Amino acid sequence: MNFTGERVIPGEVDADLFNEHWARYLFAARYAAGKRVLDVACGSGYGSALLTKDAARVAGVDISREAVEYASRHYGSAKILFAQADCYSLPFVSAQFDLVVAFEIIEHLTDAASFLQEARRVLAPAGLLLISTPNRLYYTEDRGEVNPFHEREFSYPEFADVLGGIFPHCSILLENHVAGLLVADSSQAGNLMKNPPACQQQDTDQNPAAAQQREQEAYYMLAICSAQPLAAAPPLLYLPSTGNVLRERETHIRQLEQHLEKAQQERDTARTQFHQMEARLGQELDTARTQFHQMEATLGQELEESHRWAKTLDQKLSEKGAYILELQADYDLKLQWAQDLQHEVEKARSELHKLQREFEERTAWALRLNRDLEFLYNTRWYRIGRKLRMDLNPPAGPPAGKS
């Protein structure tokens, strides 16, 4: 499981970030002795494992299957059960737990009140809910950063209001990083985590305005909620191994110097690569420019040839156009001649039809006349008349002097 910026994985996150989360579980461990404990949004499971040292038994739930599997592999034991579950619907009977721990979850929820109702359901009547969240006024507004994983963040009054709507008794504590001086021998310094000394604070001003200022400037808020009245919670002073501020600052400065040196080396390498690339790009640019000029010259020649070819083509097109006009004129003349000839043919055909009719009429007249003459020649009176003419007009003899 990789660190995404939200689920803390020991050894893979910044020490300050881990200490912020670890301190909350150290605070919760005070209330876990002999108790039935539920760790909601247990993440990688390191906090649930801490609570098992004094608790009767611990259940750790998270909506991420990957987180539950990681927690089971690394922190599973007979006293702890890890399970995948939705915080709006916890898989437990009512009043099953004496202590419910819910660190850094409420800001991820769209319906905080429903989750708080579910947490109260699984709590015993005298049980406690320990719940923490970033202070919106510092976490987002003062730093000017927005956490994309958060649905809603709370200020101190907003946090008190949403908790008070579900639990009649709430005590909100502030969690801060503080600079201080430790006076102790080596053996005591190692045990201060378990038995913190009384806190000596130079500023003892109890002015309400000063208290409100501290509420606004707090990094985180950790609330103790219950259906029963609450006793005052003793403060926790957690001195992590990174608590030697001067040493950590010097270590941090050395790390920054190493990072700076590495960054300078990377910068020099990048600068060298840049100059090499610049030189290579310059050569490529010169080559490209030469190729461009050659191509430009070639294209110029081709363009000139294209212009000449286009001019020749235009001339040929003009000639073809003139020829087409001549052909069109000749076609028009021949078409007119054909039309005139057609007219004359039709006229001649009409005359021919007329002559045909006249010929047929005269042929019919001649046939009738021939029939009439044949009839006349065959009559008795014609033969008698002919004979009389021959008798009255005998044929003439041959002329004189001829035989």
Mean pLDDT of the chain: 85
Task: Note the pLDDT of residue 90.
Answer: 97
**Among 60, 135, 146, residue whose Cα is nearest residue 99:** 60
Evaluate if residue 403 carries a pLDDT over 50. Answer: no
Q: Which region holds residue 184: left if phi is over 0, alpha if psi is between -120 and 50, else beta?
A: beta
pLDDT at position 246 is 55
| 3-state SS class at 218 | coil
pLDDT tens string 25-47: 999 999 999 999 999 999 999 99
Confidence band for 397, pLDDT divided at 50, 70 and 90: low
* Per-residue pLDDT tens digits for 199-221: 555 554 556 777 778 777 788 89
Q: Report, as an integer, the average pLDDT of 118-138.
A: 95
3-state secondary structure of 80: strand
Which element (helix H / strand E) includes 127?
strand 123-134
Q: Which residue has the tokens 């808020």?
A: 221
Please give the distance of CA 182 from its chain centroid, rounded to a whole number.
55
H helices of 102-199, where? 112-122, 136, 156-164, 186-191
